[in-house]
Structures are given as structure tokens and as C-alpha cells.
Structure 1
């Protein structure tokens, strides 16, 4: 009998909790699709760093499980409060408390099963889409073959069932403590709106806004882990205090009988909204935090996706680029591997030189936006102690300035298909990364380069910004080009070999070249990392930095794309789940309260409001309730992400607006937002059934 009753109750309440079931199905599908990354042997076998994707996805999944557990617990408790009168009547009719608790648990398990099964079906298809995107990104052929992976299914079931059982266990404990009186009155507890010290509380509203505005100036100055943690704690407190102040401010506005309350149905809306915010202060704060994380996660994913699409394919123009600290190196072992595995179209061995000065390095440290005022004295002069220390330890630039002869430079330009340049005996040129070209117009004024005799000063002929492999190979960020007569007076600094290949590059070529280097000189990914011992460097890229001794373009690009995907995929995954969880709470709250609102809208209809006016009023009520946490989250996340976007653009050289990443995230956000809003609006109108 209880099973039939539970099934009937589920069908009866499915209308009110359809949004919740839809969200749980979406969460199940996402969880299944992304959990499959743990068990795809082909994907994890492509790179030494493949575990990074699993680690990042695992961290995201852990946070998502916490949010899903919170959502389920919230919904179970919420449904219990809404049906407390019904359960109180069951007890009056003689049903035991244990039987009622078992009935309620069966109902929730049925709701969970009805969401889980279609979620798995969608998840199998979504998993194929995810794998197709990832393997296309990595230039790996992929065939569509949807199958149910038993390990992915089990881990999804474990996370899903664990969240449900934990929530139901807590609910069962709550049932044991309740009596008939508690059950009959539980529904009314959240309807009570106690007003006390509203005049003092409303001060929190402008204070919280002022703190959010302060974020705009404070955030870029956070330079330590402790400062960031303090900032985040303060931000969370501000979010929750905002709703305390907002509710008090509205109540005081109504109490003081301001003119605005008498326009249209403003008084009705203000009373409704303030009472809802007052009873849901903690929930609204939590939803704002979830929306903030969702927007920030999406924006970060957009940043790295944009970098991947615009910069990565042009970052390393040579098919193969090999560094050696030995200035006499002829790269015989490397050439043997290349001849064995590839067909060489052209190869060129050359030296990078130095005049054992660091005037170019000093100029870069004291003038680039990336470094700000870190290496300047208060009066603007270079802080030579700091610069000399960082040149010896960090390896952003070599200890001394890097030079290249004109004939070597022109040969490399010919390999890349660039137009060759000419210099007179009195000229030099600067080859710079394209992302820094707008900042180095004044660089020649800070350099003093002399001719072969050392008597006459050279002048800068031009600055070139084509892609030129300047992440530690042809200099870090820059290299100075001088006539061959001048380069002969300088000291060889390190050796390089650039290679142009015919046809497709073998997948394991870079790893085979790295195996020539002793294991102790390799990094965590198994690559021969640049030693950074004075005559090697990495450049000032501080967002995505990839500097290796051996660079094989067609091997490095997929690997870096995989690294970026390790950030993009979990960020989207986490943001989407957080967004759906928050929207579910908003929707279910309004749809479940529609019975209470039905009486109020019936009264409005009886005193003369037309049906169209009432529907317009419903739309305004829902919009205020929906937009409040969303707009507040946009204010917080936008003030942070615009700053982060500026730093990202400076650090990577991506050409885009600082508003683009956050703007796209907002559009995506509101696209999903409108789906939930329209579903709630249609369901709300259906539930109140206004009749004239």
C-alpha cells in the first residue's frame, strides 16, 4: 500500500518539481560525461601530463558533489516543509512516524530514479560529444561509438546515490524529532516576517555596495595567499549582509510611505519581495555565490579558449626548434633521430650571441606592463640590485642581452616565408613578440649598440613582430639583430637548430628527442626543460608559458591544448552545474509558493485588475526575484573578471576587449536563465488559474 501511495504522490507532485527533476537529469548527464575522462585510456595515453585533466576534473567533481548534495538536501527539506501538514494529518489518522518517514524516503528515491535514468541516457550521448571535441582539439581521429561504460556508470551512481542518501538520512533524523504540532506548523514558520532594528540593518545595504565598488581597486593589489583568502572571506560576508540590508531598506521604504509605493502595484510587489528576501536571506546569499562562481568559471574558460584559437597555432613557427647550451654543438644526435623519423626539407644551425651587457634586459624589466613598477626605484630609475638578482635566478631573460647576426636572421626568415630585411653598417633591428610590439616603441632610446670598431653608435632601423619562436630559443621576448661584422665581435652564447619538415610530424618525435637528455634534466612531463643557467630563458609570458629545449610544433600544440582543456573543461562543467543548481532553487521556490499566491492574485482580480495586468504583475514579481541574485553576482564577478581579463590580455597578447570574456559568459548565463525563468512563469500562471 505504501509503495502505491508513494508512486501516486510522486506523480501528483511531479508538476511542482519538474524543474528539479530536469536539473538532476542534467547534472547526472554532465557527471557521467565528465567522469568518463577518468577511464578513457586512449586519451590518458597521449601525453605524460594526461593526469592533469583527471586531477582538475576530479577537483571540479568534488566541488560539484558538494553542491549537488546541498541542492538535494535543500530540496528534500523544502518538500518536507511544504508537505508537513499532509504528514501531520497522516499521524492524526494513526500512521506511525517511522512509516511516514519510510514513505517520504521512497518518494524521494523514486524522484531520484526518474531523473537518474534519462540523465544516464543523455550522458552517454554527451560523453561522445565531449570526446569528439577533445580529440578534434588534439588532432586525434575519433569515431562515434556510444556505449555504457560500467566504471563511469558506477562512479556516477556512487556520487548521485551518496548525495541522495546523505540528504535522506538527515531528513530521517529530523522526522524523529518532530511531532504533530511541529508538522502542522512547519509550513508557516517561513511565512513569518519579524521586523526588528530595521533602521540599523538597512545601513548594511549601502555599505555592501561600497565594498563591492572597492573590489575594483583592491583586487589588482592582492599579492599574497593570505591577502586573497582574507579578500574572499570578506566578499562572502558582504554577499550575505547585502540581503539583510536590502530587506531592511525595502521595509523602511514602505514603512515611511514613500511616494513610489503608490505607483501601480509597487506596494504589493515590495511587500512580497521584502518578505521573501527576509525569509531566504541565507539561501539568496548562497545562490549569489553560486552565480558568481558560475560566471567567473565560464569567463576563465572563455579566456583560455580564445588564447587557444588566436595565439597557440602561431606561437611556434618552426617545425622543430632545438636549443643547446654548448656553443660548439652541431646537433648530430638530434639530426640522426630526425632523419630516421622524418623527411627534412631544410635545417639550419646557428648561434645566438651576447656582448655581455644587459641594457635591453634592464629596459624590458622597467618598461613592460607585465612588470609594472616591480624593478624601479621610487624616482623611476631602474633598481639594479633587484634586476641583477632576478636575471641570475628567475630566467625570464638571459643574464646578458641576446643578439643574432643579420645573415642568420634572414635565413630563418626565408625558412618561415617572411620577407628578408636589409641593414646598413650603421643600423640594427629588434625582433619582438607581437604582443609586446605596442610597448617597445621607445626601446631604442634605452639601448646603446656600437659598430664593429666600437666607436660609432648604431641606430634602430626597424622593429619586427612576426612569430619567431621567442620563448627561450631565439631570445626571450626579444632578440637584437646586428650586421655580421658586429656579431663577429661578440661572444657566442648558445646554439640553436631550426628544422623545416616535409609531410606529417610523428606523434612521439618530441619525446624521442627529449630522451637524449638525462632524466634529471627533464621536467615533470618528461620534457627536456630549458636549464635557465644564465644563457637560457623563458620570456615574460606569465599566463601560458611553455619553454622546452626541444620544440616539435605538431607535438607541442596538442599537448598545450590538452593542458588548456584541463582548465577549460572543468571550468565550464563546474559553472554549468552551479548555475543549474541555483536556478532550480529559484524556480522550485516560486512554483511551490504559487498556491499561496493564488489567493492573493484572486483578491487582486476581484478588486478590478484585468488578467493581463495580473500576468504582467507575475512577470515583474518573478523578474525581481530572479534578477536580484543574478545582477548582484554580475556586479561582483564583473568587477573581478574585467581586471583579470586585462591581466590575461597583457600576459598573452590576445587581441580582444576586456569585456568580451565576461560579456559572452553573461549571454550564456542569461540564455540558460531565460529557459528556467520562462518555465517558472508558465508554470506559475498555470498554477494560479486566474478566472474572471
Structure 2
């Protein structure tokens, strides 16, 4: 009998809490699809850094499991409270607590299994979509095929089943402590709202808003410089979110008590009373949902940032098909060319040198003026702290300024399809990353750069070039100074470079083959008598941050997919967390309102008897649900918006992407409210139908 009763109750639960059932099915599908990346042999064999994807997805899964466990626990407890009177009746007719607890556990396990099975089917579909997107991002062909790894299935079952069992066992303990009276009165107690000290609590609203403004100022002014200050900021932000809802509920109650003017407009009194009572009973839940929405906004925006970086920067970052470095300035790259010619069709190859005049004025200026370094290498008097630079061996720039001859420069420009440039004998130009030029402008003005081959006077500045030019250690770090050939002949060769233009696409293992060559690319110590230095370092990687890639050998067709894969280890988990958190939070909002629809039915019937027509009641329902749904969403949007604008500004500044600081938040906002609109529509239709049932 208990078995038939459990099946009948499960059918009722699936109908009454359809949104919860569908959300668990979808979350289960996402969990399986992303777990499949952890155990995919194809992904593991793709790159040497495949472990990074597994680590990040595993990290994301940890947080997803925590929030899913919270959702299941919340819903199991919520449903139990809603059915407390039913359980009390079971006790009255002679059932034991153990039997009721077992019945409830069986019902929820059946409900969980019911969501698990279709979730696995949907998960296989999402897995194929996910793999297709991943392979498309890294520019690798993907052929649809089913990949069912038993460890992936076991991990998904363990995570999903563990969340359910933990929630059910906690509720089982609660059953043992309850009696008939407690069960019969549980729902009524849940509906009781105690209003105490509301006058004092209402001040929490302006106080929380003041703290939010302070947090925003601290963030935008860049005062959060270390892990400790960031941790304090986050903890304070979470506390303020919870205080906000306590203050908002008290403020609304006090406003209604004082009979403010707004309560007499339309049905505002009804809306304010309903909303304040809901906030009063759900302020902790609303604070939690706001935190989830905030994390979802941040996750989606982070994914957008790195996706934008892929589209805008990567192709420009590696302009040459193959680029090789050697610390030996006399290297002819014979072995490298042999490997390249054996595995590709070479259209053109060019060996050249980067030179130095053993000065450091440009490097030191950049070390002390770029925002990336701050005042790290400045002494108290504003001069360069050379000892600190030497001690820390910062490799953003080489030990000396880097130069290139005009003929080499124009040859490389021709290989890249750029127009050649002309220089007078007494002039120089600087080829610099556009990001650096946008930050500092014409930074070499006033510097004495090289010497005129005719009269020994310093060269004059002829201008700047900012096209993509492989300046992450090859053609200098961030910059290279181009001088006439007669001037470069008086300088010392610093290191050698090989640029190769190949026909078609490079084989997937070409970069690995080049790296397997016995390379002498470790920094070589040279005696620099003229400079007074004991040694020099002729390898650097520039000042890029957020995303950096510096290698002695760079094969564009190998490097770009690898970086895309690395970036996808951020993009995919960020979307994963954001989507799950949004669905979980919206499920709680939806279930809360739909379960209360029967309670509101009587109130809307009274309003109908007072003269409100069905259209007016429908409009009132829309407003009631709209306020309830929008409050945590807009509050989260406001908080996350400030954080995202700050992060976006830093991201754009340090990566050089050409995007508005508001774009990432705007895209996240649209995606978020697209999902939001679906849940709201389902809630509105279900709520309205429930209210109209007895009219």
C-alpha cells in the first residue's frame, strides 16, 4: 500500500512542482555533459594542458554540487512543510513516524530518479553540443559520436544522488522530533509573521545602501589591492545584501503603518502588504537568491570577456606562420628549417637579428611608467630602482633596449602584407603594441635614441607603428626601435629570429617537433664590457597580463588552438556556474509563488467581490509577481554591474580588446533576463490559472 501511495504522491508532486522537476532534469543534464569533459579521452589527448580543463570543470562542479544540494534541501524541506498537515493525518490514522519518513524518502527518491533518467538523455544531447562548441572554438573538426564513460556516469550519479540523500536524511531526523500537533500547526506557523522593532530595523535599508556605495567607491578607486582586502570586501558585501532585505521589509511595513500617500494609489496597499510579508518570511532566501544572481552575472560576463579576447586578439597575436627565437645571434636555424621543410611547404623563410646598443632608457621608462608595474621599480625619489630590477630578474623586457634594421623591418612587413616604410638617415621609428601606445602615447620623445651615422647626433623620432608584429619576446617585448641600416651596423647583435611563411595549414605537432630540437634558448650570459654590466638577458615576453603566451617557437596554427583551449577552461565553467545558479534561484522563486497561489486565491476572490474585473486582477497578479521577481534580479544587477564595469575596464585596458566597458554586462543582462522571462511566464500563467480555478 505504501508503495502505491508513494507512486501516487510522486505523480502529484511532479505536477505541482513541475518547474522544480524540470530544473533538476536540466541541471542533471548539464552536470553529466560537463563531467564528460573531465573523462573524455579525446580532450585529454588533444593538448598537454588538457588537465587545466579537467581542473576548472571539477572546480565548477564542486560549486554546482553545493548549490544543487542547497536547492534539493530547500525543496525537500519546503515540500515537507507544505504537506505537514497531510503527514499529521497519517499519524492520526495509525502510521508510525518511521513509516511516514520512509514514505517521504521513497517519494523524493522516485522524483529524483524521474528527473535523473530524462536528464541523462538530455545530457547526452548537451554533451554533443558542448563538444561541438569546444572543438569549434579551438578550430578542430569534431565528428558527432556517443562517448559514455563509466567514471563520468558514476561521478554524476554520486554527485546527484549524494545531494538527495543528504537532504532526505536531514529531513528524516526532523520527522522523528515532530508530533501530531507540530505537524498540524507547521504550515500555520510558517504563515505567521511577527512584526517586532520594525522602526529600528528600517534604518538597515539606508545603512545597507550607504555601505554598497562605499564598497563601490573602494572598488572603482582600486583600493582592493590584496587578498585580505578582497576577502573583507566580499564578506561585507554578502552581509549587506542580507541586511538590505531586512531593512526593506521593515521600511515597507512602517510606510504602510504611517499611511504614506502611495498606498492610496490603485492597489498599492495590497501589493505593499503582500510584498513586505513575503520579504519578512523570506529575507534570508531572498538574500541568498540575490547572491546567486550576482554570481551568475559575474560568471556570464567573465565568459564573454575571454570569448571576446579570442575573437579580437588571438589572430593578431601571432601574425607569422612560424616564428623561432635563438639566444645565439649567429644562429642560422638550419635544424629548425629542416624540420619545417620536412613537414610543410615553405613559401618564404627569413633569418634576421635583433640588435642592441646596450642602453636601457626605453626599458627603464616602461618599467616605471606603465600602470602594469605601478611604482614597483621606483625609488622614493622617483628614479629607477636598478638593484630591484636586477634582483627580481623581471623578464618583461630584455636587459637592454631592442633595435631592428630598416631593411629587416620592411622585409618582415612585406611578409605580413603591410606597406613598407621609409626612414631618413637621421630618424627612427618605434613599432609598439597598440595597447601600449594607447596608454602612454609617444613615450620616446626627449630620449636620446641611437646616433646618426654621419655626425653622431641622436636620431629624431619619425613616428610609431602599431600593427600586429609578434612582440611577445620575438620582435622585442612590447616594442622594437627601427633605425636605418647604417646605424644598426654599429650595434651589437642581441639574438636571432626566424620568420617563416608556409603554404596551407601547419601540422598539429609542428610546434612540438621544433621544441624537441636541442635548443640553446636558455638565457646566455654575455660579457658586456662597454655597458659595464656583468651579463645580459636577451629573452623577454612583454607586459601582457590576464592572458600571456611566450615561447621560443611559435607555430600559429598550433598556438592559437592551444590558447583557445586554455581560454575555454574559463569560458565553459563560467557559463556552467552562471546558468545553473540562475536556474536554481529562479526555481526557488517560481515554486514559492506557485505554491502560494491557492492562498492568494481567496484574497483575489475578495478583490473581485469588491469590484475588480478579471483584467484588473490579471494586471495586479502581473505586478505582484513582477515586483517579487525583479527585486532580487535588479538588486543583483546593480551590484554585479559595478563589479563587472570595474573588471571590464581592467580587462580591456590590459588586453587591448576594443569593446565598451558596458558591453559584457549588457550581454550578460540580456542572456540572464532571457532565462528570467521564461520562468516568469511559466509562473504567471500557472499563478493566474490557479487563482481563476474557483472564480
In structure 2, what is the Cα distance between the partners aligned to 1:308 and 1:139? Answer: 12
- Does the Cα contact within 8 Å between 2:350 and 2:500 map onto a contact in 1? yes
Instruction: Give the alignment of 1:445-594 within 5 angstroms.
Output: 445-449=445-449, 450-452=451-453, 455-517=456-518, 534-594=537-597
Residues 392 and 398 of structure 1: CA distance in aligned 2, closer, same or farther (over 3 Å)? farther
CA deviation map 1:311-341 (0-9, x unaligned): 1112111111111112222222222221222
The corresponding residue for 2:271 is 269
CA deviation map 1:281-314 (0-9, x unaligned): 1111111111010000000000000000111112
The corresponding residue for 2:360 is 358
- Give the 3-state SS of the residue equivalent to 1:329 in structure 2: coil
- Give the 3-state SS of the residue equivalent to 1:571 in structure 2: helix
In structure 2, what is the Cα distance between the partners aligned to 1:159 and 1:78? Answer: 22
- Does the Cα contact within 8 Å between 1:216 and 1:639 map onto a contact in 2? yes
Pick one of 312, 315, 322 that aligns with 2:314: 312
Residues 344-353 or 145-154, more deviating: 145-154
Paired residues, number: 681
Pick one of 343, 346, 352 that aligns with 1:344: 346
Residues 434 and 596 of structure 1: CA distance in aligned 2, closer, same or farther (over 3 Å)? same
Instruction: Give the alignment of 1:177-576 within 5 angstroms.
Output: 177-219=177-219, 220-372=222-374, 382-385=382-385, 389=389, 393-449=393-449, 450-452=451-453, 455-517=456-518, 534-576=537-579
**1:54 shift after superposition:** 0.3
- Does the Cα contact within 8 Å between 2:400 and 2:536 map onto a contact in 1? no
- Does the Cα contact within 8 Å between 2:445 and 2:461 map onto a contact in 1? no
**1:533 shift after superposition:** 7.0
- Does the Cα contact within 8 Å between 1:369 and 1:650 map onto a contact in 2? no
* TM-score where L is the length of structure 2: 0.95
- Give the 3-state SS of the residue equivalent to 1:543 in structure 2: coil
CA deviation map 1:639-660 (0-9, x unaligned): 1110000000011111010000
**1:83 shift after superposition:** 0.4
Residues 439-448 or 613-622, more deviating: 439-448
User: Which segments of structure 1 move beyond 6 Å, counting only runs of 4 or more?
Assistant: 518-522
**1:185 shift after superposition:** 1.2
The corresponding residue for 1:666 is 669
- Does the Cα contact within 8 Å between 1:36 and 1:152 map onto a contact in 2? yes
Structure 2 residue 73 is matched with structure 1 residue 90:
no
Residues 390 and 93 of structure 1: CA distance in aligned 2, closer, same or farther (over 3 Å)? farther
**1:264 shift after superposition:** 1.0
**1:508 shift after superposition:** 0.8
Residues 281-290 or 214-223, more deviating: 214-223
In structure 1, what is the Cα distance between the partners aligned to 2:137 and 2:501? Answer: 23
Which segments of 5 or more consecutive residues in structure 1 lack a partner in the other structure? 523-531
In structure 2, what is the Cα distance between the partners aligned to 1:626 and 1:280? Answer: 13
Residues 357-366 or 600-609, more deviating: 357-366
Structure 2 residue 601 is matched with structure 1 residue 598:
yes
Instruction: Give the alignment of 1:100-111 within 5 angstroms.
Output: 100-111=100-111
CA RMSD of aligned residues (A): 2.0
- Does the Cα contact within 8 Å between 2:326 and 2:521 map onto a contact in 1? no
- Give the 3-state SS of the residue equivalent to 1:363 in structure 2: helix
In structure 1, what is the Cα distance between the partners aligned to 2:436 and 2:133? Answer: 32
**1:345 shift after superposition:** 1.5
**1:360 shift after superposition:** 1.5
Residues 390 and 70 of structure 1: CA distance in aligned 2, closer, same or farther (over 3 Å)? farther
The corresponding residue for 2:682 is 679
CA deviation map 1:433-486 (0-9, x unaligned): 122332343323242223135632222212111110001110111111001111
- Give the 3-state SS of the residue equivalent to 1:501 in structure 2: strand
The corresponding residue for 2:27 is 27
* TM-score where L is the length of structure 1: 0.95
In structure 2, what is the Cα distance between the partners aligned to 1:23 and 1:90? Answer: 30
